[in-house]
Amino acid sequence: MLNQNNQNSTMATGTVALVKRVLAFGCLLMMLGIQWSFAQSFQVRGKVTVADGAPLPGATILEAGKPTNGAQSDIDGNYAISLSNRNASITVSFVGYVTQTLAVNGRSTINVVLQEDTSLGSEVIVTALGIEKQQKSVGYSVTEIRGEDLVAVRENNIVNALAGKVAGVNVSKPASGVNGSSRIIIRGNNTFGNNQPLYVVDGVPIDNSNQGQAGEWGGRDGGDGVSSLNPDDIETFTILKSDAATALYGSRALNGVVLVTTKKGVKRNGIGVEFNSNLTTESIAVLSDWQYEYGQGKLGTKPATVTDALSTGLLSWGAKLDGSSVVQFDGVSRPYSAVKDNMQQFYQPGLTANNTIAFSGGTDKSTFRFSATNLNAKGIMVNDDLNRTSFNLRGSTQLGSRLEVDAKVNYVTEGTNNRSNQSDSPGNANASIYRLPTNVSISSFNPRGEVAGNPLAEQEFNDNPFVTNPYWAVYHYKNSDTRERVIGYVSATYKLTDWLSLLGRTGQDWYNLRVTSLEPQGTAFKKQGGMSESSQNVKERNSDFLLSAKKDLEGISVSAYAGGNQLDRTYEGLFTGGDTFNIPGLVSINNLKNQNRSIGYNHKKVNSLYGGLDVGFKNYLFLSLTGRNDWFSTLTSATSQDNSQFYPSVSLSWVLSDMTKLPEVVNFLKVRGSWAQTGSDSQIAPYALGLTYGLVGQGHNGFPLGALNNGAVPPAGLKPTLGTGMELGVTTRFLDNKVGLDVTFYNKSITNQILSATISGTTGFGSRVINSGEITNKGVEALLSLTPVNNGKLRWDLDVNFAKNTNEVVSLQGEQKTLFLGQSRTLNAFTYAEIGQPMGVIKGYKFVRNADGSIQHGADGFPVRESALSVLGNPNPDWTSGINNTLMFGNITMNALIDISMGGEMYSATNAYAYYFGLHKDTLEGRDQGNNFKAPGSNVAMNAQTYYQKFYNNYTEQFVYDASYVKLRSFSLGYRIPASMLSKTPIRGAEVQLVGRNLLLLYSNVPNIDPESSYSVGGSYGLEMYGVPQTRSLGFNVNLRF
């Protein structure tokens, strides 16, 4: 224990020293930047037109080698740009036109005529291992998102900003507050476990582990690794969806790969300075809409005493609200009137401020970029906040004519306080707010949830100790986590000849996470309280090399490469916790009467070799072959050396428009196809092949007794999960490039699933981990790009993406038909993997119905339910779409993204409990009939409360809803200040934007909650229960360049 603590201290000390150096360097750059930004500039004006003389609004004009200094042509094609000197060059570009680079040579006026680009598909994109290729040569689907598209309308977790932007990529965030996880599923679920993609930043894979989430017994979302990425540092997101695109990542590629390319410095005079500030406020997007005709009580009566008020503290089955004076939980009588604003009173406006300053520069030989970012976010939950500070330094230099060195270090420190408990957990303030009787105001509660005069006692408002006073939950329950993270790499590229080069690189992702959690003394369900502290160090190092050769022969281009990688990952964890504080009010682990301690450690390696061959024929036919072999330490033991897996791929791209003359209406036409295999070893734990032992009980006669530490047989011949996928697609552009269409069909089978099989107890074991089971994903994706209007005054770009995926569990192991994944607390709603069904279907109890579809009632007057569980819904959408509109009018740009998800179901425990507590509007029918209510189809009279309370945990079907939605996901309205207005200032570019996110829920079939309110990103996805309400944000973004 001592050694571990010393190690943590040493690592923390080293980290602090690193931060000091980075900060000092950043301050130096800032001073230099301020001084140099006032250097003399030279202004150029002109007009951008097309071949027929028509003005071209929205063209981009950049100072060559300085991508942060730019301007756009206005509605008449006019532009003005301030350059660093009179001998600079400018580049003028527009989609579908040939980019021009022009030397200024002291000219103050330069008019530009852009010609249409007839060689479409020549754009360069980043593919696996960071290899750059022409887009037309790629035989699989690749989508690239510019970092600037994620900056203005941003999310605290950058991955959530991808929602609705990419066909076949489903992005959602759980209802967990200000610093929750992201859930990104690319082309459907592939395994019964982790389905998240691999993230690779500048060629280095990073850890994206989820640090806890809510499940059957509650819990909270601890966030994930990718949230540390700073949008202001990102140049592009490249999403590799097909197996052929990801095969070079082998056993880490099954769920797709997201390549993140960060910004770097460029050659320029002086130091460029860029400042970006983003400020948004948040409010609840969907408010609950309860019945407000009847108030607290039961069986139609009001509370008459304090005891009555406590016993009915969660029930709204009382009399009609009439304004009379009625005693409440604290003995005070208040009006028996509707209170409709409890959510507005309890939740506060959220506020997020994000500020980034960046310095960049370079010479012919060297470049650098340094940035510092601070994100400060206060959620709508009281005391739920996030503070994240990031420093990023990247530099490159040319040593001689053959050697180039590139290095980067990214340091992130973040702290999050009071992540909300989820589901039915004690301490979940959301659960309490959603359950308040319709006449009880949260304003009548003690503002800290305490008994007056006793800060160590919870003020109870009901007789269920597990339903916590919401103010006690947010002020006394405490949890905090702090994370320090360093991501960095050093790479060197040596040109052996003009056609042969060697890359060597080593990169590391290290973080330390410390979590403290407190259940306070005086809590109703645990009077003596408890707490825990944990710490974990995770270090992942990736070292790789790549030998690349490229030759252009007569009519044939050849590119070949071979390399290798070693993944080395270490985890160290400490946990201390317990319950019952000895000394009242002293919050310390050392003050616990009952303590538990544990330590964890694991270490794994994967060694890999890979290679590829790309052949192009006459610049219209392209063939690509790749192969990778992985060797796993987790599959190596004294008795087994069968520890490798090979992953091949083949893809073909055929550009018909470059091979032969097509009708004039067709500007570009490419067909493509691919086949590949990828894998996943994420469910193979280190040391799973070995027996582990522990002590049993108190021993015998003073001697310890040993036994197996778990009941699983060490697996023999275990292999990583294997995915085999094929893809066919066509890309075309026509009508003078005003219309573009990309369509993709894919089919993927995932076998060798890793499952735990029950075996006979006579073996001395209870289970065995095996390869068995199959899942398939089949689907279609489409992207339609249009420019409906471009008349010289106004330009309108419209992008529509569409995706439909069909997922099926084909087999499990042996005769097994179902595999349990999750449950909604103690309610009869479950998620399963079931043969013949999509992954994660929702199961529960259905009504028995008559021939006409009406619900059948039994002799007791209650609906009859089926005796066995039935499939009630599929949490995966039937199809998704995104409609992205961009309008440019002079210096004004407006963008709006509509996000559509159709089909798919969710189970809402919030609505189920609303039936039980008498809050749901459906429970109004029959209340005015006293004990004489007869449900439709029933002849048995009873009280409405008795009837409806039967529903919440007996008829699951009632609370499974169509989870379709249409949202205005993002909106921005920006104004780029003309360069002419800035010519006498040190500012070389400025833009102001009004921004909003999740502004409107345009369509939904789910009452009282947002349809994106699942509390889990894993096996319980599709289940909802008392999450933090989803929010909408509105604010502004300012970008200044010096």
Q: What is the 3-state secondary structure (H, E, C) of 216-240?
A: CCECCCCCCCHHHCCHHHEEEEEEE
Model pLDDT, residue 270? 82
- Does the structure show a pLDDT above 90 at 473? yes
Query: For the segment 236-267, what is each residue's pLDDT rounded down to a tens digit?
Result: 999 999 999 999 999 999 999 999 999 988 87
Q: State residue 313's pLDDT score.
A: 96
Euclidean distance between CA atoms 141 and 780, whole angstroms: 12
Higher-confidence residue: 408 or 1014? 408
Give the pLDDT confidence of 790-828 residue by residue, as tens digits.
887 899 999 999 999 999 999 998 888 999 998 988 889
Helix (H/G/I), strand (E/B), else coil: 158? helix
- Express each pLDDT in 751-796 by its tens digit: 999 888 877 777 777 778 888 999 999 999 999 999 999 887 899 9
Report pLDDT for 469: 96
β-strand partners of 789 = 796
Residues 431-469 have pLDDT tens digits of: 999 999 999 999 999 999 999 989 999 999 999 999 999
**Residue 292 scores a pLDDT above 80:** yes
pLDDT (average), residues 20-32: 45
Q: Which residues contact 213 (CB under 8 A, 6 or more apart)?
A: 174, 176, 181, 219, 220, 221, 222, 422, 1015, 1016, 1017, 1018
Amino acid at 494: Y
Tens of pLDDT, residues 300-312: 999 999 999 999 9
Banded pLDDT at 699 (limits 50, 70, 90):
low
Please name every residue paired with 693 in a beta bridge, in sequence order, or none if there are none.
708
Determine phi and psi for 733, rounding to 5 degrees: -135, 140
Average pLDDT, the chain: 89
Tell me, rounded to whole angstroms, the distance of Cα 811 from its chain centroid: 29
pLDDT at 710: 62
pLDDT band, residue 13 (cuts 50/70/90)? very low
pLDDT band at 30 (very low <50, low <70, confident <90, very high): very low
Q: Is the dihedral of CA 1006, 1012, 1013, 1016 positive or negative?
A: positive
pLDDT single digits (tens) 51-110:
767 788 778 898 887 766 778 787 678 888 988 888 889 999 886 678 888 889 889 899
Q: Does position 537 have pLDDT exceeding 80, yes or no? A: yes
Q: Is the pLDDT of residue 363 over 60?
A: yes
pLDDT given for residue 5 in this prediction: 41
Bridging pattern class, strands 905-908 and 1023-1024:
parallel
Residue 205: predicted pLDDT: 95
Mean per-residue pLDDT, 646-655: 97
Q: Residue 32 pLDDT > 90, yes or no?
A: no
Average pLDDT over residues 371-392: 95
Can you say how many angstroms the Cα of residue 855 is from the centroid of all Cα atoms in its chain? 41
More confident residue, 522 or 31: 522
Helix or strand run (H / E) with residue 375: strand 366-378
User: Residue 532's closest CA among 473, 484, 573?
Assistant: 573
Q: Which residues contact 216 (CB under 8 A, 6 or more apart)?
A: 423, 822, 823, 824, 825, 1020
Contacts of 288 (CB under 8 A, 6+ apart): 343, 434, 910, 914, 919, 1008, 1009
Model confidence at 39, in pLDDT bands (50, 70, 90)? very low
Distance CA 67, CA 264 (A): 10
- % of the chain with per-residue pLDDT over 90: 69
CATH architecture of 147-284+350-427+477-691+706-911+961-1041: Beta Barrel (2.40)
pTM value surpassing 0.85: yes
Cβ neighbors of 32 (< 8 A, separation 6 or more) are 271, 359
Domain residue ranges of the chain, discontinuous segments joined by +: 1-35, 37-116, 147-284+350-427+477-691+706-911+961-1041
The SS3 of residue 164 is: coil
As a whole number, mean pLDDT of residues 821-836 equals 91
Q: Is the pLDDT of residue 1 over 70?
A: no
Q: Confidence class of residue 639 from pLDDT cuts 50, 70 and 90?
A: low
- pLDDT score recorded for residue 118: 52
**pLDDT surpassing 60 at residue 16:** no
Q: CATH homologous superfamily of domain 37-116?
A: Carboxypeptidase-like, regulatory domain (2.60.40.1120)
Return the pLDDT at 240.
96
Angle at 75 between CA 74 and CA 81, to 5 degrees: 10
- C-alpha distance from residue 129 to each of 243, 920, 1005 (Å): 14, 54, 44
Reduce the DSSP state of residue 401 to 3 states and report it: coil
SS3 label, residue 30 = helix
Residue 17 has pLDDT above 70, yes or no: no
Map residue 656 onto helix, strand or coil. helix
CA gap 206, 200 in Å, rounded: 6
Q: For 877-922, write each residue's pLDDT tens digit.
A: 999 999 999 999 989 999 999 999 999 999 999 999 999 999 999 9
Calculate mean pLDDT across residues 1005-1009.
95
Which of 59-63, 674-678, 708-712 bottoms out in mean pLDDT, i.e. has the lowest?
A: 708-712
For tokens 């403290």, name the residue.
Answer: 516
In this predicted structure, the answer to whether residue 11 has a pLDDT above a threshold of 80 is no
Contacts of 543 (CB under 8 A, 6+ apart): 505, 506, 507, 565, 566, 568
State the DSSP H helix or E strand holding residue 433, giving kind and residue range, or none if neither.
helix 429-435
Phi, psi of 835 (to 5 degrees): -55, 135
